[in-house]
Amino acid sequence: MTNYRYGYVRVSTLEQDPAGQLDAMAAAGVERERVFVERASGALDSRPELAKLLGVLRPGDTLVVWRLDRLGRSTSHLIQTVTELGERGIGFHSLTEAIDTTTSAGRLLFGILASLAAFERDVIRERTMAGLAAARARGNVGGRPPIMTPEKLAVARQMLDAGTPKSVVAKTIGVSRPTLYTHLGRLLNDGVTR
């Protein structure tokens, strides 16, 4: 069984010329018929040429890109894609960054990049949690304000006591019927009667 090197070239707009990336693929030994050219923004979820390429790759093959940002929409997407390739027995080679997961040094470097990305996510999450805790300590509560206010609940109770149908009450105070029913249920569970 022959192992092949496949190239993935992406330009963001129709006006951009992929010639530079194609030249880099040729210099890296990727045959032109094994290069998939995408003309789409990296932010797009749908990249048909990449999907075709991922379907063609077999264990032992190597996916070659000119730069890391040509493959991944984000750091996490890039890491996920390269990790999935590795799980399938497919190598990854980024020419500009000299990352080649078919070598032990390349796998080490990619592992370091993946660890740095995980560290960055953890730091962002920790900062967010610390910010929320500080806001709560100052009396600020995050999230959207509750739709059912004590005032609305008091009006709802008065209307219900007067015999107004629940659907009319809900519409009058500007909440959905399920929201009204939920809050009425809480009142009944707390021992409060109409």
Does the active-site annotation cover 12?
yes
CB atoms within 10 A of CB 100: 19
Distance between CA 184 and CA 193 in Å, rounded? 9
- How are beta strands 91-94 and 99-100 bridged, if at all? antiparallel
Q: Which stretch of DSSP H or E encloses residue 150?
A: helix 150-161
Distance between CA 32 and CA 30 in Å, rounded? 6
Distance between CA 57 and CA 118 in Å, rounded? 27
Tokens representing 169?
């009450």
Please tell me which residue in 12, 41, 46, 176 is annotated as part of the active site.
12
Phi, psi of 156 (to 5 degrees): -60, -45
Phi, psi of 91 (to 5 degrees): -80, 165
Distance between CA 147 and CA 174 in Å, rounded? 9
Q: Which of the residues are catalytic? A: 12
